[in-house]
Chain A
Amino acid sequence: MTISTSDKPFLTRVKESENDHFMQQSVAKAQDAQWDKRTAAREELGNWEQWRDLGEQIRQHVIKYLPDYLEQFSDNVEKKGGHVFFAQTDEQAVNYIKKIAKEKKAHRIVKSKSMVTTEINLDKALLSLPETSIMETDLAEFILQEDNWDEPTHIVFPTLHKNRDQIQNVFKKLGYSGSNDPEEMAKFARKYLREYFMQADLGITGCNFAIADNGMINLVTNEGNADLTMAIPKTQIVVMGMERIVPSLKEAEVLDNMLSRSAVGQKLTSYCSFSGPQVNGESDGPTDFHVVILDNGRSNALGTDFEPVLQCIRCGACLNVCPIYRHIGGHGYGSIYPGPIGAVLSPVLDGYEKFGDLPFASSLCAACTETCPVRIPLHQLLIKHRKVMMDKLKMDHSFNNVLMKGAGVATSSPILFKIALEGAHMGSAPLSKSKETSVDNLFNYGHIEKAPSIASGWTDVRDLARPPKHSDDFRSWYKKHKKEQQEGVSHD
């Protein structure tokens, strides 16, 4: 699995991100701009909290009945003449896609932006095929590819960390001789990519939502490259996380509205498409249509407290409100899924050993939970990760654990506690030393310099006074003192 974007330790990544002032300014600017656009789009729609209720309900429902919806979707894709492959791992998915590429003798592959194909490291796997080239056609992904496959920094805005001069330099390597004006550079990319598009023989897309009751896939974009990817090549392969499914076009429409507003503050993005294999009479679109449905660790969340993370619709709104993301950007997280959603999802997909730091990359301010259009309780899941890690990874599960449980029983039982007090002085004799101490205690019975097991936590840093004789301990003194009071004995 390749959701990791860095081998460096978390704190090193954070330090590097803190020193990237352009990135920090860009993220802050993007967060502030998106705040205004997102808020305006939601307010104009009205009843936003009720829309969130509906979005949450749709996502929870499909996760609850996920096998049934995937079965229905798979049946409907096949009825349309498509093929569905269920991949439990990234390796299975990559091998299937490589097999199709070989069978189709694909030489020029076009891809539209897809987090899940980044997750399975598909680009590099396909480039290993002989005489095969691949082109990321989303403008941002194209820039990252041409910049030596740089890593994305945001789910929706992958090149947020790059300025126009850096992009101009990337394009110069491709023959660009214009200015650093974004519009001029975008036009260059349009022409460059269009020539490649027209020769493409295999198209690979992600999937925002799969429509269970008709076998279509729904893609939500702004540039139009995904639609060209679905129109021009004869073969299309769709790669989708297994949770990206909805019952029908109606629920897709609801979520497209919520996704567009939450991701970019638009009522709908420029292109929302619902698509499948070519039907009789049509001349473009894929004649060979494949869907790869991927688990790759997602099922780790099923039936656990982390199941709500599968509700995610990848809008990135949680990144856009997060104060931690504002400071460390996407690269600080070291996962292709950054921000609050990444801090919850990455350990689910790939474990605590790699991503155990991420749940602590949070102020727990709950802004992420507040903005999530499908009501994922993100900050609560971050706390839950911490608890799980503390229980599973940090808690001492050796014999000490048994001793602690024994201590718990003894201290909660008056009889056992009393017996323990009475025996403490005698029991500690073998460990005690009676050499002179720097402080005179009222009862100096010696001290313990090296206690075993759970008590070693104390003696590692200081001596432990030996328990007094039972006749001299506090309880005995107190009992004697009360008795004397009642009998009127004065100590004056």
Chain B
Amino acid sequence: MTNSNREIFLDKIATKAGRPRHQLKNHPFVPINDLPESTLAGKSQDELLELAQKNSEAVHVTFEKTNRSSLSALLNDFLSAKDINNLILPTCDKWTTFGLSDWENKLVDSAEFWAPESSRTENLAKANAADGAIGFADYLLAESGTITVATTPGQGRGFHFLPTHYLSIIPKSHILSRSRQAMRKYEAAITSGRLTTSNINFITGPSNSGDIEMVLVVGVHGPLDMTYVVVEDL
């Protein structure tokens, strides 16, 4: 059935528009200005960190700054403060990068992992039962307080939405000014084959809704709260 009706459909709208098909090759989109690139351009990582903190806190995010050596202690504090008993973690090679190998190893028996070898049902059930998730973000956008995450076999889609409390770890060097810069990096990674993913999430604070009398309710379907941890020496 796929596409059996495509040509008829496209010919019809071309006729109605009075414009022939297959003209795009000679008329690619060229933006009228460079605002997406130039807005907030030229800021240092320190300036971006300051801006990211301000804008993250504005969207109800708990924003923490730490360094590699103190990161595990901060994570333990998070688990205690939120009273997390069912933790889910990603399966990835970033634990070493962030100096968390020992911390992760200690949790192997008590925490659940989103595992590439597990089935859809198993991984989703683990995430749904979790009252806390600690994951890694690809980038943090200073302008909006947004973390970005591409789905991987070890950190699936449901990992970011099903647990009750959510903490994301981001290296300071991965703070970008805006969504445009993140898009450029993702496009380059996908085009070069360095990234294979079905899904990219831009997450800006906890889920929320104003559907009942326009009263802002934080935490609807996704996590009830969000914590960003920026590791300053990475």
Interface residues of A (CB under 8 A from B): 26, 29-30, 33, 45-47, 50-51, 53-54, 57-58, 61-62, 64-72, 74, 78, 80, 83-88, 96, 137-140, 143, 157-160, 163-164, 167, 182-183, 185-187, 189-190, 193-194, 198, 214, 216, 222-225, 227-228, 230-232, 234, 242, 247-254, 256-257, 264, 266-285, 293, 295, 299-300, 302-303, 307
Contacts and interface: CB of A to CB of B under 8 A. Distances in A.
A228 B19 contact: no
Given A194-B128, A273-B200, A278-B198, A26 B213 contact: yes
The 5 closest A-B CB pairs, nearest first, are A224-B222, A281-B153, A231-B157, A86-B9, A68-B24
Nearest to A29: B214
A268 B144 contact: yes
Contact of B220 (A96, A223, A268, A279): A223
A270 B204 contact: yes
B161 interface: yes
Nearest to B18: A303
Contact of B9 (A33, A61, A214, A295): A295
Interface stretch (B41-49, B76-84, B101-109, B178-186): B178-186
Contacts of B22: 68
Contacts of A269: 204
Interface in B1-50: 1-3, 5-6, 8-14, 16-19, 21-24, 27-29, 31-33, 35-36, 39
A62 B180 CA distance: 20
A139 to B, nearest CB: 4
B221 A190 contact: yes
A234 B120 contact: yes
B173 interface: no
B152 to A, nearest CB: 8
B156 to A, nearest CB: 5
Contact of B202 (A232, A250, A273): A273
Contacts of A158: 211
- Looking at chain B, what size class is its interface with the partner chain? 35 or more
B201 interface: yes
Interface of B: 1-3, 5-6, 8-14, 16-19, 21-24, 27-29, 31-33, 35-36, 39, 55, 59, 114, 116, 118-120, 122-125, 128, 141, 143-146, 151-153, 156-158, 160-162, 179-180, 182-184, 186-187, 190, 196-215, 217, 219-223
Contacts of A253: 36, 179-180, 182-183
A74 B223 CA distance: 34
A285 B156 contact: yes
B153 A78 contact: no
12 contacts: A26-B213, A71-B6, A74-B3, A143-B211, A143-B212, A228-B158, A228-B221, A231-B124, A250-B180, A270-B59, A272-B179, A276-B199
Contacts of B2: 78, 83-85
B208 A279 contact: no
